[in-house]
Each structure stands twice: as C-alpha cells, then as structure tokens.
Amino acid sequence: MAVGLGDLLTEKTIKLNAQAADWRESVRLAGELLVAVNAVSPSYVEGMIRVVEELGPYMVVAPGIALAHARPEDGVQRMCMSLVRLVSPVEFGSRANDPVDLVFAFGAEDKQGHIQALQELAVFLQNEDAVTALRQCDSVQEAVQLIRDYSRKGEVDPTD
Amino acid sequence: MKIATLCGMGFGTSMMLKLFILEILKDLNMKAEVVPWDLGTFKGQQADIIVAPMDMEMHLRSTSAKVVLIRNLVDKQELRSKLVPVLEAYQGS
C-alpha cells in the first residue's frame, strides 16, 4: 500500500496557531516538525529555505498556501509531510499568492514514492470547503480528521 | 504532443501540475505525454507546451514552446480555462 496523506499528516506533524516573523521562520517551523519525528535531518530544513532563496517563491502554489521541500539528498530519512498554520500570514515574495498562512513541508526519498500523498494533498487543496475548514478548525485532532475525510484517493493514475 | 510541467526540482509543484493535467486530458479524451521538468535540466529539452507557476515566468522567456502560466496551481478551473484552448489549437494545427 502506498503511503497516503493521512499517514503523514498526524497530530505530531501538524501545528496550528503558530507564530512566525517571516517566511524563513515559517518554513523552519514546518521543518522542525519533521525533524522531531526523525523523518529529516536539520540540514534538510535549511535546504528547504535555500530552495526558496535560490529558485524563488513559485512553491506558493495557491492563495495563502506554500508547499516547501528540498531534495532527497538534503537529508530525508523517510517520506514525510507537515503542516504549520500561522496566526499572522507571512510574505514569501509570491506575486501570485502572497501572503501565506498555511505552510506544508514534505520530504521525499526519491522522485516517485510520494506521489500518492501528493495526489491526495492536491485533491484536498482543490476543495475550497476543505481548505476553509482547515483555516478555521480549533484543534489538531480536527485538522487530522479533515485531512483524512477530504483527501480520498483521486482517480488519476500518475503512471499513465 | 508533449506537455512539460516546470518547477524548481521537478517532483513537487510540477508533479502536482502533472496530476491535474492528466485529469484534464482524460476528461477531454486526449492523449499526451506529460513530464515534470526541473529548472536545472530543462534547458535544451523539447516540449510542445510548458505549464508553469506564474512566478517562473522569467525562466521561460526564450523557449519556443507554447507557455501556459498558472497563478493558483490547485484551481482546476484556471488550469482548464488556460490549457484547453492551447490543446485545441495544437490539435487543430
């Protein structure tokens, strides 16, 4: 069975009502959740920040939503994902989608193994009701449940 | 027809775009090869259509492919409304 979104975004890897002074701190917070569950090394967190610095803010994929990651060789122990919801949004410099209040971070061991989880995240993020509920929910338990409810497997076979 | 999706590393944002494009192609009953590209290696590669986040526009000024820039990458309506005319024009050409 492929690892899905509900296996990765758990009570340990979601942080609500976080405070970050700027985008770097928001990415660091999301990365630290992954370090805390021994899924990535601290160097990976710095890698995610470096990617934004070097390649630009294109990973702010939708209004208010960033999808941060670095390369497997930056220090991924196992496939993982985290979510930080900020109290006050931060600017990534994205002309399309700033400011950001939801920061997803992920680590992939290779370029294929995370596709199921990514697909489920895509299904979740496409659903405006789901994203609104995620922005408004009061507890991490609620957030976990929302993600499980709304991220059912999509229909596309990525190997098509 | 070859469609490339572009992002910095070739397996996050561009992979997500690829998944959406596959869905649209399926709905339209069209066939195309969809490949995620990364910024480091995409130069010198060939595609008919490149789909990329709007924030990557500066990297795509010299390509001969038809470029589709997307603002909200999880908004299938936006992707569909920008991509379908390009697909249809390609098929008609």
Dist. CA A40–CA A63, nearest whole Å = 27
- CA-based diameter of chain B, in Å? 33
Give domain A5-150's CATH number out of 3.40.930.10, 3.20.20.60, 3.30.930.10, 3.40.390.30. 3.40.930.10
Q: Which of A18-32, A109-123, B2-16 tops mean pLDDT?
A: A18-32
SS3 A107: strand
Residue of chain A whose alpha carbon sits nearest to that of B34: A160
Q: Which tens digits make up the pLDDT trace of A78-117?
A: 999 999 999 999 999 999 999 999 999 999 998 888 888 9
Q: Cα–Cα distance between B33 and A133 in angstroms, integer?
A: 36
Tell me if A55 and B73 make a contact (CB, 8 A cut-off): no
Domain spans, chain A: 5-150
Q: Give the strand order in the sheet containing B33-38.
A: B33-38, B2-7, B49-53, B66-70
The two beta strands, B49-53 and B2-7, are: parallel
Q: Which residues 37-66 of B have a C-beta within 8 angstroms of A? A: 39, 52-56
Task: Quote the distance between the C-alpha of residue B33 and its chain's center.
Answer: 11
Distance from CA of A104 to the nearest CA of B (A): 11
Model confidence pLDDT, tens digit, residues B17-73: 999 999 999 999 999 999 999 998 888 899 999 999 999 999 999 899 999 999 999
Q: Give the residue from B3, B7, B15, B20 with the most A CB atoms within 10 Å of its CB, the best one to mutate.
A: B15
- The catalytic residue among A28, A69, A85, A114 is A69
Q: Distance between CA atoms of B17 and B70, rounded to whole angstroms?
A: 10
User: Nearest CA of chain A to the CA of B78: how many Å?
Assistant: 11
ipTM: 0.90
- Helix and strand numbers, DSSP H then E, in chain A: 6, 5
- In contact, A120 and A4? CB cutoff 8 Å: yes
Strands annotated E in chain B: 2-7, 33-38, 49-53, 66-70
Average pLDDT, chain A: 92
| Residue B43 φ/ψ, nearest 5 degrees | -65, 135
Q: Residue A122 is nearest to which of B7, B10, B16, comparing CB atoms?
A: B16
Contact check, Cβ <8 Å, A158/B73: no
Q: Which domains does chain B have, with CATH numbers?
A: 2-92 (3.40.50.2300)
Structure-block tokens of residue B66: 């038809």
CB contact under 8 Å between B75 and A51, yes or no, is no
Active site residue A69: yes
Read off the pLDDT of residues A27-64 as tens digits, 9 standing for 90 and up.
999 999 999 999 999 999 999 999 999 999 999 999 99
> Is pLDDT of A23 > 80?
yes
